[in-house]
């Protein structure tokens, strides 16, 4: 496979090692469309577009023209009368009739790491319970049947925040992580074709390796069988074995599974439309994955998607407007092309997209640095696709952007809305390690944005 679209045995095995500790690798249980025809809810998919660092709502989807807090950006009309976006999101403006804007988000955590966990789990990081990320919870609910592809894939995550933890659901529901930022905050060399690398090398081991690996697997299975026979209640060991064997099946599996990650199969014009960076190519990969039955894909805009090597990409404490203009161009290309591509292939009605970060940015512009700081009181998220009422706007912030005046929602409501959109009851419960039933989302779906 080309360098910009390969998987690596080394990274897969590293993922396996981490999964034994509950950190990564997903359960390989998505279902392809042919297996799911009898149950419409099982054909649903979800794509989370994660804006690492916290994007500025005032400079994107909740403009404040004519106010000092509004900054220099102009607003533009969209395909929906009265719905206006930043001038730097012209392509998304054309797709406004597919988008629902939530302008009343209000949360209580302003630290990057803790807020990232809050927005992914709906829970503040405290206490003994390890809550699963929404990707783990929803992929578990949506996936059915065996497949060589994972049910949850995380593209280009900023690993220090461990946004893919399956929590008490166990390693079988952790994501398969791919991308140049997956295990390091160091930039990797751009491939010769000019597109961001989203995989690593050698997904299919060499025949000589396979022969050695088969011998090792037979020895390992013997040891595992003996241990499990002597410790029949060792759930962690059983889960480790399940994940390990599924990962081996993925590495040595069908061409259909491996080619899902080969972006070179796409027309060059389409790849360019998505954008050459890791976010744009990640959006293209997300389309290829849901097209093949993957239940949940998270694509993060992080690392090399800005111009100053700030790996908290949207953390614009300094030079906010130049940074946001640059990032908006990449967001606009990737998100808008994803919408058009899914629609053209008949996948948009079965794929729900959520755009969000860990919090918003302050309405007041910081003197001296020309930046915006962390802000949790009044910010925005965007939903699109299956189960969503396109063209809807829920929530209203004050003229200065500091407070929510109408339609206030919390993270539990946002995640409940996402679950409802993909056909999963938000109050579906899973048992924690302590035997306590935990709902997928502890909130109320926002009916105004649901189709």
Q: Which two tokens stand for residue 71?
A: 């900054």
- Residue 447 or 185, more confident: 447
Q: Which two tokens stand for residue 295?
A: 């239940």
Band of residue 28 on the pLDDT scale cut at 50, 70, 90: very low
d(CA 342, CA 334): 12
CB contact at 8 A, 152 and 179: no
| Interhelix angle 278-291/320-344, nearest 10 degrees | 20
Backbone angles phi, psi at 85, to 5 degrees: -120, 175
d(CA 91, CA 79): 10
Q: Which of 267, 265, 302 is nearest to 282 (CA)?
A: 302
Query: In the chain, what are the domain boundaries?
Result: 42-198+268-449, 202-262
Rounded alpha-carbon distances, angstroms, from residue 358 to 56, 408, 427: 11, 17, 23
Band of residue 25 on the pLDDT scale cut at 50, 70, 90: very low
Pairing of strands 99-105, 393-394: parallel
Name the 3-class secondary structure at 355. Answer: strand
User: Would you tell me which CATH number, out of the four given (3.40.720.10, 3.90.1010.10, 3.40.50.880, 3.30.420.10), belongs to the domain 42-198+268-449?
Assistant: 3.40.720.10
Q: Which two tokens stand for residue 304?
A: 């090399």
Where is mean pLDDT largest: 100-104, 190-194, 304-308?
Answer: 100-104
Band of residue 23 on the pLDDT scale cut at 50, 70, 90: very low
Model confidence pLDDT, tens digit, residues 73-113: 999 999 999 999 999 999 999 999 999 999 999 999 999 99
- Considering the entire predicted model, what is its pTM? 0.83
Band of residue 149 on the pLDDT scale cut at 50, 70, 90: confident
């Amino acid at each position: 496979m080309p360098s910009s679209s390969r998987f690596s045995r080394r990274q897969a095995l590293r993922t396996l090692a981490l999964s034994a500790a509950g950190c990564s690798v997903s359960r390989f249980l998505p279902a392809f469309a042919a297996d799911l025809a009898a149950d419409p809810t099982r054909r649903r998919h979800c794509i989370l577009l994660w804006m690492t660092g916290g994007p500025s709502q005032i400079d994107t989807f909740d403009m404040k023209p004519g106010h000092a807090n509004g900054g220099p950006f102009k607003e533009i009309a969209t395909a929906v009368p009265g719905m206006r976006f930043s001038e730097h999101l012209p392509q998304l403006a054309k797709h406004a009739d597919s988008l629902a804007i939530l302008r009343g988000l209000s949360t209580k955590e302003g630290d990057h790491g803790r807020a990232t966990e809050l927005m992914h789990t709906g829970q503040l990081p405290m206490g003994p319970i390890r809550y699963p990320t929404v990707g783990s919870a929803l992929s578990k609910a949506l996936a059915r049947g065996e497949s060589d592809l994972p049910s949850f894939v995380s593209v280009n995550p900023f690993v220090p925040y461990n946004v893919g933890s399956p929590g008490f659901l166990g390693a079988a529901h952790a994501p398969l992580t791919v991308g140049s930022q997956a295990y390091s905050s160091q930039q990797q060399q751009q491939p010769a074709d000019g597109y961001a690398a989203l995989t690593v090398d050698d997904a299919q081991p060499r025949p000589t390796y396979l022969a050695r690996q088969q011998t090792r697997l037979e020895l390992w299975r013997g040891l595992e069988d003996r241990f499990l026979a002597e410790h029949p209640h060792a759930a962690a060991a059983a889960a480790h074995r399940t994940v390990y064997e599924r990962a081996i099946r993925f590495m040595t599996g069908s061409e259909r599974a491996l080619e899902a990650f080969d972006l070179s199969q796409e027309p060059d014009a389409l790849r360019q439309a998505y954008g050459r960076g890791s976010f744009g190519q990640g959006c293209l990969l997300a389309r290829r994955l849901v097209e093949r039955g993957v239940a949940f894909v998270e694509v993060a805009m992080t690392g090399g998607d800005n111009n100053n090597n700030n790996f908290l990409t949207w953390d614009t404490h300094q030079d906010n407007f130049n940074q946001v203009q640059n990032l908006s161009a990449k967001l606009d290309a990737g998100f808008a092309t994803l919408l058009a591509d899914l629609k053209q292939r008949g996948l948009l009605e079965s794929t729900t997209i959520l755009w969000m970060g860990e919090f918003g940015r302050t309405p007041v512009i910081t003197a001296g640095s020309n930046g915006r700081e962390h802000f949790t009181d009044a910010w925005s998220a965007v939903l699109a696709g299956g189960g969503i009422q396109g063209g809807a706007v829920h929530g209203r912030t004050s003229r200065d952007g500091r407070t929510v005046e109408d339609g206030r929602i919390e993270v539990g409501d946002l995640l409940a809305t996402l679950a409802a959109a993909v056909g999963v009851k938000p109050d579906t419960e899973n048992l924690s390690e302590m035997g306590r039933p935990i709902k997928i989302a502890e909130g109320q779906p926002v009916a105004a944005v649901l189709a």
